[in-house]
């Protein structure tokens, strides 16, 4: 931010020090749909009055990332909103997409965040969330590439229908969401098979059936296994 302030404080603009931060705040609020603000290289998901106050005092801590929301990128932005939120609110910002995605990933079990047996593209999607700090890079570059599509960043705009990529992304998100549930089901099925119980029993019924079948087994704890 210091470079930006230095630029507008020099001729031909000649903005006075202190006023430059007010100009940036006004610019940010007007264009926040296509801007990402970083404090100490960490994305600010919620830009509050307190953040602006720190920005005015310590501009060297901040940087800003701008992105051109036109053409196919605007279509992709709106498609993200439709797929993840169900509608496209007026004056939507990057935060409207980033927050639900970040919340989804944060709520995944640790097993899902580290397992290696998922589909390779599903793993790539998961790793994109964990390894990409820039939300714009995440949404328009690493997630499309993780799903097998070219990025939507750069001079060569992607001509693919954004919905094709997003349908693939939703499929991988569903796989992540169900991974732990599938693990528990697999354990349950193996347990039912080993104990000769019906495979269609749910976990609660399986537990009841096992408890009834093996009730009193503790009486024989002194028995020794056959050699």
Q: Is residue 148 very low, low, confident or very high in pLDDT (cuts 50, 70, 90)?
A: very high
Report yes or no: 188 and 203 within 8 Å, Cβ to Cβ.
Answer: yes
pLDDT tens digits for 1-15? Answer: 888 888 888 888 888
Quote the pLDDT of residue 158.
56
Residue 214 has pLDDT above 70, yes or no: yes
How many contiguous H segments (helices) and E segments (strands) does the chain have?
Answer: 11, 3
Quote the pLDDT of residue 121.
96
Nearest to 96 by CA among 107, 73, 80, 108: 80
Residue 72 tokens read as 């196919």
pLDDT tens digits for 85-136? Answer: 776 666 677 777 887 888 898 899 999 999 999 999 999 999 999 888 888 8
Q: Is residue 58 very low, low, confident or very high in pLDDT (cuts 50, 70, 90)?
A: very high
Report yes or no: 79 and 169 within 8 Å, Cβ to Cβ.
Answer: no
How many whole angstroms separate alpha carbon 14 and alpha carbon 12?
6
What mean pLDDT, rounded, does the chain reach? 85
**Placement of tokens 């537990």 in the chain:** 207
Residue 155 has pLDDT above 50, yes or no: no
Of the listed ranges 25-29, 34-38, 41-45, 207-211, the least confidently predicted one is 41-45
**High-pLDDT (> 90) share of the chain, %:** 30
**Placement of tokens 């693919």 in the chain:** 160
Q: Is residue 73 very low, low, confident or very high in pLDDT (cuts 50, 70, 90)?
A: confident
pLDDT tens digits for 191-211? Answer: 888 888 888 888 888 888 888
Residues whose CB falls within 8 Å of the CB of residue 182, separated by 6 or more in sequence, listed in order:
none
Q: Can you point out the beta strands (E) in 40-168?
A: 42-43, 62-66
């Amino acid at each position: 931010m210091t470079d930006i302030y230095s630029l507008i404080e020099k001729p031909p603009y000649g903005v006075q020090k202190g006023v430059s931060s007010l100009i940036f705040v006004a610019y940010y609020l007007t264009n926040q749909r296509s801007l990402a603000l970083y404090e100490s290289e960490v994305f600010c998901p919620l830009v509050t009055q307190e953040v602006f106050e720190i920005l005015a005092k310590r501009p060297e801590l901040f940087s800003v990332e701008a992105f051109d929301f036109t053409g196919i990128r605007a279509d992709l932005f709106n498609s993200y909103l439709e797929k993840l939120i169900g509608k496209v609110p007026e004056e939507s910002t990057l935060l409207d997409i980033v927050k639900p995605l970040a919340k989804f990933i944060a709520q995944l079990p640790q097993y899902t965040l580290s397992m290696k047996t998922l589909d390779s593209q599903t793993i790539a999607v998961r790793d994109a969330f964990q390894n990409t700090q820039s939300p714009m890079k995440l949404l328009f570059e690493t997630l499309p590439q993780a799903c097998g599509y070219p990025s939507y960043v750069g001079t060569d705009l992607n001509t693919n229908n954004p919905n094709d990529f997003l349908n693939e992304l939703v499929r991988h998100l569903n796989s992540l969401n169900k991974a732990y549930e599938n693990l528990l089901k697999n354990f349950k099925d193996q347990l039912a098979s080993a104990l000769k119980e019906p495979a269609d029993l749910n976990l609660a019924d399986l537990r009841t059936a096992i408890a009834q079948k093996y009730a009193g087994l503790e009486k024989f704890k002194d028995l020794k296994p056959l050699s």
